[in-house]
Amino acid sequence: MPELTMTVNGKQVTGSVEGRTLLVQFLRDSLALTGTHVGCDTSQCGACVVHVDGKPVKSCTMLALQADGRDVLTIEGLAKGGELHPMQEAFRENHGLQCGFCTPGMVMASVALVQENPDPSEEEVRHGLEGNLCRCTGYQNIVKSILSAAKVMRG
């Protein structure tokens, strides 16, 4: 089986995978990073979003081998030194999550959204969440969380 090496949450990891192994499978099954979720099989829901080289991607729609040599950030790597990332903190404060299943992908997408657009309007946030489905919150508190985190992240 092919070997691969990548940086995941700041640590170098190696593994051997099949050609067909998806990045999300490698993260969950080989690295036991089960924070990244699989909510669909048609690349719609976004529960599996992680950052690869700083950009959000659907880890269910990327082969593990395509991440060979790359830098991967998952939800487990977002909080630093026991401190929640401002986006995580904002989701908590604003009740931006209920069942928590879409949350890892939603948070990773939201962090990228604000990195790309540090001062988004509500409309831009809603549009920017096009790739992430949530069935619990009605999105309102997710949008609120992102707008609030953006303020903090702008400093």
Partner 1 sequence: MSVPEIGQSLPRTEDERFLTGQGNYIDDINLDGQAHAVVVRSTHAHARINAIDVAQALALDGVLLVVTPDDWKKEGFGPMPTKTAIRKGKNDMDLAEPPRHCLAMDKVRYVGEPVALVVAETAAIAIEAAELVDIDYVSLDVVVDPKKALIDGAPQLWDDIANNLCLDFELGDAAATQAAFDKADHVVTLEVFNNRVTAVPIEPRGAVASYSPETDSYLLYNATQNVHANRDTFAESVLGIEKEKLHHIAPDVGGGFGVKNGAYPEPPLILYASKRLGRAVKWINTRSESFVGDTHGRGQDSTVELALNKDGKFIALRTTTIGAIGAFCWTVGPFTPTGGSARTQGGPYGFEAMYYQAKAVFTNTHPMDPYRGAGRPEGSFQIERVVEKAARELGFDPVELRRLNLIPRDALPLKTPMGLDVDCGDFPEVFERTLKLSDRAGFDARLAASREKRLRRGFAIAPYLECTGGGPKEFAGVTFVENGTVDLAVGSQSTGMGHETAMPQILAANLGLPFDDIRYHQADTDKTPIGGGHGGSRNLEVGGSAVLQAAGEVIEKGKVLAAHIFETTPEKITFEDGAFAEPGTNHSMTMREIIDASFDPLTLPDGMEPGGLNVGSTFERGIISVPNGCHAAEVEVDPETGKINIDGYWVVDDFGTIINPMLADGQVMGGVAQGIGQALMEEAYYEEDTGQLVTGSLIDYALPRADDIPNMVLAFYEDAPTAKNPLGVKGAGEAGCCGAPPAVVNAVLDALKDYGIENISMPLTPEKVWRAIHAKG
Partner 2 sequence: MYDFKFHNPDSLAAALESCSQAEDGQFMAGGQTMIPVMKQRLSMPSDVIDLGSVEDLKGISVADGVVSIGAMTTHALVAADGDVQRAIPVLAALAGGIGDPHVRNRGTLGGSIANNDPAADYPAALLALGANVHTDRRQIAADDFFTGMFETALEEGELAIRVDFPVPKAAGYAKFGNPASRYAMVGVFVSQGSDGVRVAVTGAAPCVFRISEMEKALSNNFSPAAIKDMTVPAADLNNDIHASAEYRAHLIGVMAARAVGDAILREGAA
37 φ, ψ (degrees, to nearest 5): -110, 160
d(CA 144, CA 44): 23
Select from 3, 5, 16, 18 the one that contacts partner 2 (CB under 8 A). 18
Query: Per rule CB under 8 A, is residue 55 in the interface with partner 2?
Result: yes
Select from partner 1, partner 2, none the partner in contact with residue 110, using the beta carbon and a kind-dependent cut-off of 5 to 8 Å. Answer: none
Helix, strand or coil, per DSSP, at residue 58:
strand
Judged by the rule CB under 8 A, the positions of this chain that interact with partner 1 are 20, 28, 33-42, 44-45, 47, 74-76, 78-79, 84, 88, 91-93, 95, 97-104, 107, 122-123, 125-127, 129-130, 132-143
d(CA 146, CA 7): 27
- Ranges of H-type helices in 35-138: 86-93, 103-116, 122-128
* Residues in 69-108 at the binding interface with partner 2, rule: CB under 8 A: none
Select from partner 1, partner 2, none the partner in contact with residue 103, using the beta carbon and a kind-dependent cut-off of 5 to 8 Å. Answer: partner 1
